[in-house]
Structure 1
Amino acid sequence: MSSGGIDARPTPPGVAEAEADDMLVHPHRLRRALVKTETLAGHQADEVRMVRAPGRVNLIGEHTDYNEGFVLPAAIGLETWIASAPSNDRRVELTRLDSGERDGFQLDGLAPPPEGSERWIDYVAGVAWSLAREGVRLRGVRGVIASDLPISSGLSSSAALELASAWTLCAEAPPPLDGMRLAQACQRAENEYVGVKVGLMDQFASALGRPSAALLLDCRSLEYRAVELPLDDYLLVVCDTRSPRRLESSQYNARREQCERGVAALARHRPEIRSLRDVSVGLLESAREELDEETFRRCEHVVRENDRVLAFERALEDGDLAAAGRLMAESHASLRDLYEVSSAELDALVEICASVDGVVGARMTGAGFGGCTVNLAARDAVDRVREAVAREYPSRSGLDAAVYVVEPVGGAGLVEP
């Protein structure tokens, strides 16, 4: 599974490495393995509900979702699975396959945890709390969680856990909410229960992903459409810096507040402005003196990034991959210099991969402050990417990167027996 510090694909924690590939290709085998765990022992196979929810990679459109802008994510085949059986009480109790850690909560009387809580179960409890507010009937369960999504890497492991939890906790499967409403309920769980002011993109992609395509989402109207990717000749390659971020303690919420401050300043004399979605590059430039330098830079990134997303979609439709690659490079530079959410490790991986023959485009993906890069690479360039990263990244960062080839997949759902 690994060579020279480069992982072709992560192994689901707690699963023997020799079995991992078969389980990833055949989720039914993973189901059988989870059913045999101590948590689910004694339950008949038809009592066990197994669900999956994918992570996501965002091709372009970073920090635009909470500014009512455009994003272009794809759900990817790095996923979280939960196998569960109903309990006879109103308690939810889950065990992590990787660590054996068990935690739980009562469905009744849920309230957001104290500020600073770092329990992973808060994400699950938050989903229960949010679904209950929607009037969804919930069930107590005992279950096991497995995942091959690297945590704190910018591939939306939290959103995958939230969507898998929603499919697990609803008394009915499929849930009574459609994919968009389910994504919104999970977003509210992270915003109001966990306390991270994320936009909708991550939960949306995990809920509604499409095979072979990315999804262009208008975060104002919530309209979306599939954008086919050139996957006959090219692949999506994700490079993990192995320099994890902690979103709760990062400056993510601060960036959102800076954007809101910019909108408030611009709207003083322009009441039609409700978000940075309403601001053009020309308007922003003309109002430069109304904003402090830091706020201007944050706003400039968002305004130009929205334009880049739409231009990127057009480039893909036209088959102009050179233009798509230039837009990815511009996006990364903007995130590095204007929004200031990149890192030395992310910059190193982008530079290394962009220099490889056959790589069309490279940029950081996700909220930043560590995490992953995404690359659009010719199929015959993937080995060269792995070799370049293994050769150059450790000396520049002191770390070993992980390189994953990922494919777009469908959104969260049941894994049938």
Structure 2
Amino acid sequence: MTPRDILIERVSAAFRRAYGEEPVRIVAAPGRVNLIGEHCDYNDGLVLPCAIDRETMIAIGPAHHGEIRSFAADFDDDSDGFSATAGVIDHAEADWKNHIRGVAHFLRERGIQPPAANLAIAGNVPMGAGLSSSASLGVAIALALSMHADAKVDPGDLARIAQQSENDFVGCACGIMDQMASACGTEGAAVLIDCQSMKQRAVPISESLAIVIIESGIQRILTDSPFNTRRAECEAAAEHYGVDALRNLDPARLEPERGDLDEACFRRARHVVTEIARVRRGIDAFTTGDTASLAEIMAASHASLRDDFQVSIPPIDQMVAMLAEKIGDRGGVRMTGAGFGGCLVAVVEKSLAEDVIGWVEHDHNRMAEVQASAGIYLPSKGAHLLR
């Protein structure tokens, strides 16, 4: 059985265990890895993520109890329920429950009223690793509940609903990138997203390249991290320079107009404007398989995230340095995701992918206190109905 077949059976079994019947439909939404363009989305910048072949699945069926009930196979069969028709949807204590409640709330705001439903949830996106398990959950819930309400919602709106839920119901001030990648991914390609215009296009990944994701084993929780502080610092920098968002800041203005802008906000601004430039350069490198350029671009991105945005940590930096030395000009490696732990991404010649995995799981792990793992991930399709 494939990993997808295993996951379909697991979510179906969870539904049967919880409700004693078969689900009417199953939907899936993938996680994502960001190849380049970190912390640019909420600054209206350019980002280049791709959906990955790890996903969250929702099994759903009708109900007559008047509630939207959920059963989470990945949280020790924890469950939740709230009225499908009550005027106000209250918050729950667990974040996973608030993703569902928040999506239901924002569907209602769009005039879509999900009827009572039974849901079971299971996934294989690593949690707390920077691969957007939360965005995958939010997009999958938005697709499942909108289809259950017989409403057709386009992928971009699924992403916006899931983002609103995460911002305003769960309490994490994330940008749109994660949800948009999960909703709009294309098999074999990354998705270039202009977070100002919301335009997007597929960027094919050269068949000569492999994407290796390294889970550091250091888990982070964004609502408990300085993530929200970084966003506030970016907004303060934009206000200082008199622009709506750092996307609109000309790099030539950074130093001359710094004035009394504090060091932290200046560094945040410098990261964003240089990272957007790296996205523009990276498009051709990923498409053509120019590994020497990828090595340079991804190394500069990691250094900027470490020194200017200050979201990396020493164990991640050490792993990046080790892998960069071994990979040389045959690919690039950097931290990916919001930071403070989580994952690295290496984009390398296909023939080198298994070596990268070996270096992580043998060379690195032999010396490290926290054990890392690595695997090859494929650029995959966005949220869709499975059956």
Fold shared, TM-score > 0.5 on shorter chain: yes
2:20 counterpart of 1:41: yes
**Post-superposition shift, 1:112?**
5.7
* Alignment counterpart, residue 393 of structure 1, candidates 355, 364, 374: 364
Equivalent of 1:384, from 339, 343, 355?
355
Task: Give, in whole Å, the separation in 2 of the partners of 1:327 and 1:171.
Answer: 41
Fraction of identical pairs, as percent: 37
Determine the C-alpha separation between the residues in 1 that align with 2:34 and 2:151: 26
- Contact (CA 8 Å) 1:393, 1:399: kept in 2 or not? no
Quick one: distance in 1 between partners of 2:6 and 2:151?
Answer: 24
1:109 matched to 2:87? The reply is yes
Q: Give the secondary structure class of the aligned counterpart of 1:120.
A: helix
Helix, strand or coil at the partner of 1:389: helix
What is the DSSP-based 3-state SS (H/G/I as helix, E as strand, rest coil) of the residue aligned with 1:136?
coil
Unmatched tracts of structure 1, length 5 or more: 1-20, 268-272
What amino acid maps onto 1:360 in structure 2?
A: G
Report what 1:252 is aligned to.
227
Q: Which residue of 2 aligns with 1:65?
A: 41
Say if 1:236 and 1:405, in contact at 8 Å, map to a contact too: yes
- Asked whether the equivalents of residues 24 and 30 of structure 1 are also in contact (C-alpha less than 8 Å), the reply is no
CA contact (8 A) 1:27 1:415 kept: no
User: Deviation of residue 89 (structure 1)?
Assistant: 3.2
Deviation per CA, 1:254-275: give whole Å up to 9, x if none: 00000111111111xxxxx211
Q: What secondary structure does 2:100 align onto?
A: helix
Deviations 1:161-207 (A, max 9, x none): 00111122225477422111111111111111111111000000000
CA contact (8 A) 1:22 1:29 kept: no
Distance 1:166 1:365, change over 3 A: same
- 1:405 matched to 2:376: yes
Q: Is the Cα–Cα contact under 8 Å of residues 57 and 76 in structure 1 kept in the other structure?
A: yes
Q: 1:299 aligns with which of 253, 257, 269?
A: 269
Structure 2: where are the runs of 5+ without partners? none
Q: Which amino acid aligns with 2:331?
A: V
Aligned to 1:242, the other structure's residue is in SS state: coil
Shift of 1:315: 2.7
Of 335, 355, 363 in structure 1, the residue corresponding to residue 325 of structure 2 is 355
Partner of 1:185: 161
CA deviation vs aligned residue, 1:273-299 (integer Å, no higher than 9, x gap): 211111121111211223111111011
Alignment partner for residue 243 of structure 1, among 206, 218, 228? 218
Question: Could you tell me which residue of structure 1 aligns to residue 118 of structure 2?
Answer: 142
Three-state SS of the structure 2 residue aligned to 1:277 is helix
- Aligned to 1:78, the other structure's residue is in SS state strand
TM-score (norm 1): 0.87
In structure 2, do the counterparts of structure 1 residues 165 and 320 end up closer, same or farther at CA, with 3 Å as the change threshold? same
Distance 2:18 2:94 in 1: 24
Give the 3 Å change call, closer, same or farther, for CA 112–347 of structure 1 in structure 2. farther
Stretch deviating more after TM superposition (392-401 or 197-206) = 392-401
Which residue pairs with 2:64 in the alignment? 88
TM-score by length of 2: 0.94
In structure 1, what is the Cα distance between the partners aligned to 2:13 and 2:379? Answer: 25
Secondary structure of the equivalent of 2:36? Answer: coil
**Mapped partners of 1:124, 1:159: distance in 2:** 11
Q: CA deviation at 1:317?
A: 4.2
Question: Which deviates more from structure 2 when the two are superposed, residues 177-186 or residues 104-113?
Answer: 104-113
Superposed CA offset, 1:326-345 (max 9, x none):
11110010000000001122
SS across alignment from 2:255:
helix
Aligned counterpart for 1:162 among listed residues 138, 144, 149: 138
1:53 equivalent in alignment to 2:53: no
1-side partners of 2:150 and 2:322: how far apart? 43
Give the whole-Å Cα distance in 2 for the aligned partners of 1:393 and 1:112: 45
The residue type paired with residue 220 of structure 2 is R
Instruction: Determine the C-alpha separation between the residues in 2 that align with 1:210 and 1:69.
Output: 21
Shift in Å at residue 106 of structure 1? 2.0
Could you tell me whether the CA contact under 8 Å between 2:36 and 2:47 is conserved in 1?
yes
In structure 1, distance between residues paired with 2:95 and 2:139: 17
The number of residue pairs the alignment matches comes to 384
Q: Which amino acid aligns with 2:216?
A: T
Partner in structure 2 of residue 10 of structure 1? none
Between stretches 307-316 and 393-402, larger displacement belongs to 393-402
Deviation at residue 86 of structure 1 after TM alignment = 1.0
Question: CA, structure 1 residues 349+90, in 2 after alignment: closer, same or farther (shift >3 Å)?
Answer: farther
2:44/2:245 contact within 8 Å kept: yes
User: Which residue does the alignment assign to 2:345?
Assistant: 374
The one-letter amino acid of 2:141's match is S
**2:185 is aligned with 1:209:** yes
- CA displacement 1:25-55 (0-9 Å, x = unmatched): 57655565445x3114234xxx521110100
How far apart in 2 are the matches of 1:189 and 1:171? 18
Structure 1: which amino acid aligns with 2:37? G
Listed as ranges, the matches of 1:292-331 within 5 Å are: 292-331=262-301
**Range that drifts further, 155-164 or 276-285:** 276-285
